[in-house]
Each structure stands twice: as C-alpha cells, then as structure tokens.
Amino acid sequence: MDDTTYMQLALHLAEKGRGWTTPNPMVGAVVIKDGKIVGRGYHERAGGPHAEVNAIDDAGDQARGATIYVTLEPCNHFGRTPPCTHKIIDAGIRRVVVAMTDPNPDVKGGGNAYLRDRNIEITTGILEKKARILNEGFVTWITTGKPFVIAKCAATLDGRIATRTGDSRWVTGPSARQFVHRIRHGVHGIMVGVQTVIKDNPSLTTRLEGEKNSDPTRIILDTHLSIPQTAKLLHQKSDAATWIVCGPNAPDDRRMDLERTGSQILTAPLKDGRIDLSALMKQLGTEGITSLLIEGGGTVLGSAFSAGIVDKICFFYAPKILGGDDGVPICSGTGPDSMKQSLSIHNMTVHRFDADVMLQGYLKPS
C-alpha cells in the first residue's frame, strides 16, 4: 500500500472522534513498519491523549524505525498534554507523513520543522483537501475567531418549510432526519429563532439510534426574552448548555427567571431591531463555539444569508409540492434586486436519503 492508502485509513480513524474532540480538531494516526500496520490511534476526546500518542502506544516497541501517518501536523507545544513531537522522537519513528499543517497561526509548521531539525523525514500534503474538509469547523474557528456556520433546511420541491398553518411534521422522511442528527452530533452549537421554539417546541438534542450522542450547545435568538419558561429545551437532561441571546434592552426580570432554569443569557447588539448576527458570530467564537448549525426558521435563515455568515448549506428536499403561495418559505425577509446579487454555491454535491435529496455546498470556492 502507498502513502495515500495509509493516510485514508488515518482519516477514517480521525472521523471516530467527531462530536467529542471540540474545541480540538479530529486527528487520526497509523504506524507502519515493513509494510504492516503495527499501531492505530485517534484523538478520542478533548483533554485526552492525541492520535500520535495512542497510535505509538498501540505499536509499542515496533514503533522504532517505523513510519507514522497523521492527519494533522504533530503538535510541538505543551497544552493539556505534552508535545507529540517528543513522543515521536522518543519512540524512534524515522518518517512522519502529514496530511495538513496545523492551521493555528501561532504554531503552524512548528511541529514539522522541529522534527526535520532532528533528522526525521517529513512528507506533507497527502490527502490534504480531505483533511481540511474533515476539520473545516476547527480550521475556520482557529483562523478567523468565528464558528464555521452550516445552514440547514427541509423543504418541499416548491421551497416551503411549512404549510400556511405552520405544520412542518414531517417534510422529509426518517433517513434524512437521522442524518440531520448526525450533523448535530458533529457541531458545537445549534441555533434557532424564538418563534421556532414557540411554534415547534423542539428539544434541539442529538438522537442517533444505538449510538452515544453528543448534544450541541443550544442557542436561541430571542431579542426580548419572550421564550416560554415551559419550553422543552429549557428543561433538557443534557450535558450541553442552553444559551439565550437577547438584545441590550431585554427585561431584567425575564433574565433572572430564565437564569433560574439553568440557561445562560448572552447580550448581543441589535441591527434593524434584530440580533446582529455578524457581531454574534464573533461573540460565539470568543466563547469557544467552533461550529454552528442554523436550523431556522425562515427569518433566521434569511438574516443569516443576508449577514454573510453562512459557510455551508445542507438543503433537504422532499418529493412533495404544496402548490400554493401561502406556505412558509425557506428564507423570509427582503432579498436582492437582481439575480446578479444572488449567492453562488460552490462544490455542490447531491446525496439521496430514500426518496429525499440533500444539496450540500459552500458559499466560498475552495
């Protein structure tokens, strides 16, 4: 097998950490000696051993003189764990193959340089694009200070996310909805507007059948703190927090009432009477939110696109047509005057979930 094949295996291992490593990236590693896999490992949780450490420990004495394939440049600094470069050197690894350099501007390239200076052979750029996509949330957050934002909707073929009465259960089928829960498992935060809470009373938790789930931080846009105190998401049995984002003039008594439910209240600036989403993204990034799933409703989605905060879309379409012009559209609000001002989607892919389809793409070309 060649470098690409072994790196693909390392990427597969890295994926096992999805939902558990935040705010750290997902990383996988394999140790190869004499053409055989002698060690495997991945970063299993934030604060735990890194992928290289787990793979080298798995290899034991066979790591001496071997090659290690790792999806992200080995760290060369002390954090919650010692530098992986020291582990590599002490184990007697002779060659390190890296998919991508660390995007953190404070440490980028440092691990590779440290190892080269100690006569360890370094090869970089193997399956780099796949490695960057795997950690697109971490890359965006560490380089911009803002979360990587995914906009999701489930719509009929004529672009409606609910009927005129607000009924939206269910637009898409079970397979598509399970995939949405897989997305929830992998993101750090999930955001909706307060009207979605009032109308649908969602849980905003992850529910993957037969698997251990990671819940995202629940973030509710609620300018005036009008969320009902009986809302289901205020009383979840969940390790994840609930944050309610309000404007500067929200009533103090409502703040205190909601804080008593265990929710955290964040105050954000307003723009045209609504939460300024651009300013909020900076605030969420400072709070450590690395990736964010926006699930609606239409006003929030429209505002998100208008504010230019969306990085990626996951639009699900069901083979259904409402046929009227009075259902709830995917996006609400004022759109552009001309087609030239529309947002272009790049690197579009199409995925099937039984009868439903998902269009996935990016707002910026790669």
Sign for the CA dihedral angle at 324, 329, 333, 336 comes to: negative
Side chain identity at 217, as an amino acid letter?
Answer: T
Clarify whether 128 is annotated catalytic. Answer: no
Q: Residue 208, exposed/middle/buried by CB under 10 A (0-12, 13-18, 19+)? A: middle
Q: Among the options 15, 44, 52, 121, which is catalytic?
A: 52
312-317/328-329 β-pairing: unpaired
Q: How far is CA 104 from CA 83, 145, 288, in A?
A: 15, 11, 15
CB 23 within 8 A of CB 189: no
Cis preceding-peptide flag for 297 (omega within 30 of 0)? yes
Q: How far apart are CA 35 and CA 38, in angstroms?
A: 9
Strands 160-162 and 328-329: antiparallel
End-to-end CA distance of the chain: 29
Task: Give catalytic residues, as residue numbers.
Answer: 52
